[in-house]
Amino acid sequence: MIELLVVFALLSVLLILAAPNFMTFQRNAELTSAANSFTASLSSARAEAMKRQVRAFVVPMSGSNWASGWRVFVDVDSDVVSGSIAPGGSDIVVAEQAPLPSAVAVTASSFPLDGGTAYVMFNGNGSMTNIDKTFSDRSIELSNGTESRRIIANPTGRLRVCKPSETGCGESQL
């Protein structure tokens, strides 16, 4: 009986020591998953734009709050104009992402705002442009408080995920 109590005491000490590391592992996994989901959504929008030869958008579910989730849609009838970036009419919703886990926050975004709505737009040749047809590098940064991931997109549609602390993780270093 005493040996069993000693084993349980040792197991409880090991669990107490392992629990913080497990929580860190879980939060980092959530962060990586969120970054990969956003990258996959951008890739999906680009592929749909090239396949259908029309514009495709990725927009937050709520205004400029990317943490609220996002929607990928194809602007089939080219009715999305400045200030009305939302699927409607004959637009095709390709994918929707649920809100990010509460531990993951969007800490920075250089995606443009139009009428209070953030957006990413790909044209029919797969290039990422603004509604006014200008080009520039864009990025979004996700963080869980201890770690961060930056998703960088250049005008040609090339995407990259990196840690901001790494050398070469700036927007200009695509």
DSSP designation for 99: P
Beta bridge partners of 57: 73, 121
Bin 157: left if φ > 0, else alpha if -120 < ψ < 50, else beta.
Answer: left
Give DSSP secondary structure letters for 140-172.
Answer: EEEE-SS-EEEEEE-TT--EEEE-TTSTT-STT
Mean pLDDT of 109-121: 84
Q: Between the CA of residue 169 and those of 33, 67, 78, what are the distances in Å?
A: 19, 22, 35
Mean pLDDT of 124-140: 85
Q: Between the CA of residue 121 and those of 1, 56, 90, 96, 162, what are the distances in Å?
A: 67, 6, 17, 16, 22
Mean pLDDT of 48-55: 93
Asked if pLDDT for residue 33 goes beyond 60, the answer is yes
pLDDT confidence of residue 129: 86
Give the confidence band of 89 by pLDDT, cuts at 50, 70, 90. Answer: confident
* Residue range 67-85, pLDDT digits in tens: 999 999 998 877 777 556 7
Query: What is the homologous superfamily of the domain 2-162 according to CATH?
Result: minor pseudopilin epsh domain (3.55.40.10)
What the block records as the tokens of 26 is 């879980």
DSSP designation for 98: P
pLDDT confidence of residue 56: 92
pTM: 0.83
pLDDT confidence of residue 41: 95
Place of tokens 């709520």: 62
